[in-house]
Amino acid sequence: MITQTSKKPDIQLRKGQIVKGKWHRHHYHVVKKLGSGAIGSVYLCVHENKQVALKISKQSASVSSEVNVLKSFQAVQGYHLGPSLIDVDDYQAHNGFTYSFYVMEYISGESLHDFMRRNGHEWLVSLLIKFANDLHVLHQQGYVFGDLKIENLIVSRKPVQLRWVDVGGTTLQGRAIKEYTEFYDRAYWQCGSRKADPGYDLFALAMVILRVYYPNGFTKGTNPKKTLQQKINQAVTIEPLRKLLLMLINNSITEAEQIKDYLLNYFIHQKSKRDKRRQHQKAKSSHEALYPFLEIGSILTIGGACYLYVTFFM
């Protein structure tokens, strides 16, 4: 007999398994496991011929917390700060225990690493402009993403943009960050505290960008901040991006909106330069296209003058 004091084991769903909600009675057909973390595991499922992501955990309080975060995101009009929440329910497993789960939008896309390999680092600027704006809106709602890392991000296909897919580390500002990954953690690099404030996310974002350049990461050494500066200067060749990263690790930028404005100005400046080059090339091409006709005109004019001279004076 299973009692309330019995230790609940972790749950692993298998491919082809059907998860039936205890209260809403919806059925979810498990396709594959997408990932797992401290709170639970996420699975790709099919419900009514539509792909969804299902997160299940033995920690019902943590599931409720994440659901509340997703609900608060949905309350922000005009923004998609995270996956859309679809369903919340319990699952009565064969072992007799009840597990909490929630179902959210499945965001189709590819990892930031794969996207950069196919398209080049120049895409980072445009991806970061929209993402920085989303971060700013999140911070305005009183939250910090917390566990911001490359594994929790995906580049969606339609539209092409950088989105987060796991809100497990999201924390109210002012509290202590409890779910984090060392490489992206401000305190680990001795660049600040583990207090939930916008600057914590901004530092983590700098580390996300660095992870694009250093897929295997690197150690912090005896002087962590100096190590970061050296790694940035060695690898990041896009000048505005290099300057941005240095500002982020030095806490010179305190709001995500500053990142958006900084990169947007660079993007506009680059576009203006490209437009001017195109106009110059177009004008040059037009002149070169007319050149043969000008030559013919010149020849005909000279020929005409010669004809008149011969006719009247010889």
- Fold adopted by 18-105: Phosphorylase Kinase; domain 1 (3.30.200)
Helices within 154-255 (DSSP H only) = 198-213, 224-235, 239-249
Crossing angle for the helix pair 256-313 and 123-140, to the nearest 10 degrees: 140
Residues 233-261: tens digit of each pLDDT: 999 999 999 999 999 999 999 999 999 99
Mean pLDDT of 224-229: 97
Residues labelled catalytic: 147
The residue extents of the domains of the chain are 18-105, 109-266
Which tens digit of pLDDT belongs to each residue from 287-313? Answer: 555 444 434 344 344 444 433 333 434
Q: What is the pLDDT of residues 134-146, one digit of tens each?
A: 999 999 999 999 9
Question: Of 203, 208, 207, which Cα lies nearest the Cα of 255?
Answer: 203
Q: Tell me the one-letter amino acid at 162.
A: L
Options 1.10.510.10, 3.40.50.720, 3.30.70.141, 3.40.710.10; which CATH number does 109-266 get?
1.10.510.10
Domains 18-105 and 109-266 share a fold: no
Query: How sure is the predictor about 48, in pLDDT bands with cuts at 50, 70 and 90?
Result: very high
Average pLDDT, the chain: 87
**pLDDT at residue 45 tops 80:** yes
d(CA 170, CA 150): 15
Q: What is the pLDDT of residue 270?
A: 79
- 71 three-class SS: helix
Residues 215-224: tens digit of each pLDDT? 999 999 999 9
For the segment 180-224, what is each residue's pLDDT rounded down to a tens digit? 999 999 999 999 999 999 999 999 999 999 999 999 999 999 999
